[in-house]
Amino acid sequence: MSPIRRTAESASRPGTSASSPSPRMTGTKENDMSVDCRFGANYTPSKAWLYGWIDWDAASIRRDLEAIAGLGLDHIRLQCLWTYFQPNRTFVSPTMLTRLTEVVEMAAECGLDVVICVLNGWMSGTFFRPLWQRESTNLFTDPEALDAERRLITAVAGAVEGHRNVLGIDIGNEPNALASYRGNDVTRSEGDAWANMLLEHSERVMPGGLHTIGVDHMPWLRDDAPFSREHLGEAGAVTSIHSWVYFTGALERYGRDGTGTLHLARYLIELGRAYGRPVGRPVWLQEIGVSTEWVPDDALPEFAAALLRNALIAKPWGVTWWCSHDIDRSLTGFDELEYDLGLLTVDNQVKPVGAALAEVIAAHRRGAARDPGDFARPRPELVLPEGQVPDLAFADGYFDLVARGEDPVIVCEKTAIVRSSRGSQV
């Protein structure tokens, strides 16, 4: 096991550093919600899924957003499909931008804030690369592709300018998956440079936004991904985490009721925080979800509630469930697990999992989710040695401490050495 020592609790919790940014709030929620955590959903329209961008039904979308707000959620992560928004390298669809603005306005009327995910060439297990992106086009290094990407982000930011419920831009959904496409091999330094360029551009066109890059678990748990943990911990305004018990291998390794499964999101949030610069940088649990392919129907609501309760112990900036709505089974070709991930049915009926999560959220806002006294005692530090990958083998040490009732904090060895030389504690 990695070295463990005790550290003062307060210095490693978010919100205790003067450099820690406050959540960007709109006027819709300031007076009636706890600002220590935002709760939302990745919006997947009940009608026609994301194909709804072209099969437009504003009334249906409004009903969806009202149902999402009815769960007590305060924001959505809104996915733009790249193929529709930018069908030509030098052309961004005015129709799509108008519809985007309309969704943002309807969300505001429902009391929902929005983070717009822009360069979506990968979604729900499927590539959505525009036709102008030939197989030889490397999205991370090709100058014409980079120019097109900046063009689309600029157009999206311009379309929603002045809408106070837009929190920021997520440059793309799990863009590390795009690196697996033929001809898109990219080194880590190239991947980091790509992300940095687009995040800086997002800040230029939407100053002060909650801009981020929504990678999946791979860069955090492996060393062969196109983005480094160090860069993910400092680029943009918030560190984004995707926690899936199945895709990470946690469910297979620990079992359905194992500590490592039930506390996976908590671990990943703390891992993201360990790499965060400056200290106190917010961490957003941007994706988390459960399929009946992994957990039986009757056990799924409590399982999902346990995942959320445990994630909240790590005090993320926000939690955004995947996803808002099931996929209509008349749409073929999706992996079976994708169809029932929603909190709501395609008829906007609240599913048992949606009701269970709404209860957890309500309890958290009442301050009833966890005894504040639990945070008063020192926390054990789990030091991540320089050069070690923080995969599930390393995480075993974290989960052992959790199983003993501890609330561990992860510290990178380099950071621990610097602190030790200064004679200070985290």
Summarize pLDDT for 262-273 with one digit per residue, the tens: 999 999 999 999
Mean pLDDT of 241-255: 98
Distance CA 62, CA 45 (A): 10
Predicted model pTM: 0.91
Predicted pLDDT of residue 10:
37
- From residue 88, how far is each of 85, 97, 170, 201 by CA, in Å? 9, 15, 21, 20
Q: What average pLDDT is seen over the chain?
A: 90
| Cβ neighbours of residue 400 closer than 8 Å, sequence gap 6 or more | 1
Strands (E) in 317-397, as ranges, are 318-321, 379-384
Q: Worst-scoring range by mean pLDDT, 109-113, 194-198, 222-226, 272-276? A: 222-226
Examine the pLDDT at 23 and tell me if it is beyond 70. no
Residue 181 has a pLDDT of 84
Task: Report how far residue 213's alpha carbon sits from residue 195's, in angstroms, rounded to the nearest whole number.
Answer: 7
221-246 average pLDDT score: 97
Tens digit of each residue's pLDDT (9 = 90 or more) over 340-351 = 999 999 999 999
* Distance, CA of 262 to CA of 25 (rounded, Å): 30
Residue 421 host element (H or E): helix 413-421
pLDDT at 15: 44
Residue 219, both tokens? 């860069």
pLDDT of residue 136: 80
Is beta strand 113-120 parallel, antiparallel or unpaired with respect to 75-81?
Answer: parallel
What are 36-60's pLDDT values in tens digits?
899 999 999 999 999 999 999 999 9
Under 8 Å between Cβ of 45 and 79: no
User: Residue 181, class by beta-carbon neighbours within 10 Å (0-12 exposed, 13-18 middle, 19+ buried)?
Assistant: middle
Q: Residue 271's Cα: distance from chain center in Å?
A: 14
Identify the band that residue 376 occupies on the pLDDT scale cut at 50, 70 and 90. Answer: low
In this predicted structure, what is the pLDDT of residue 3? 56
DSSP per position, 205-248: HSTT---EEE--SHHHH-SSSSS-HHHHTTSSSSEEEEE-TTTT
Cβ atoms of 184 and 138 within 8 Å: the answer is: yes
For residues 72-87, give the mean pLDDT. 97
pLDDT tens digits for range 81-115: 999 999 999 999 999 999 999 999 999 999 999 99
How many degrees, rounded to 5, is the angle at CA 406 between CA 252 and CA 232? 65
Laid out side by side, the sheet with 38-43 consists of 212-214, 166-173, 113-120, 75-81, 38-43, 318-321, 283-288, 239-243
pLDDT mean over 375-398 = 92
Q: Is the pLDDT of residue 219 over 80?
A: yes
Is the pLDDT at 236 greater than 70? The verdict is yes
CA dist 243 and 263 (Å) reads 10
| Separation CA 260–CA 182 (nearest Å) | 34
Please state the CATH superfamily assignment of the domain spanning residues 21-376 in this structure: Glycosidases (3.20.20.80)
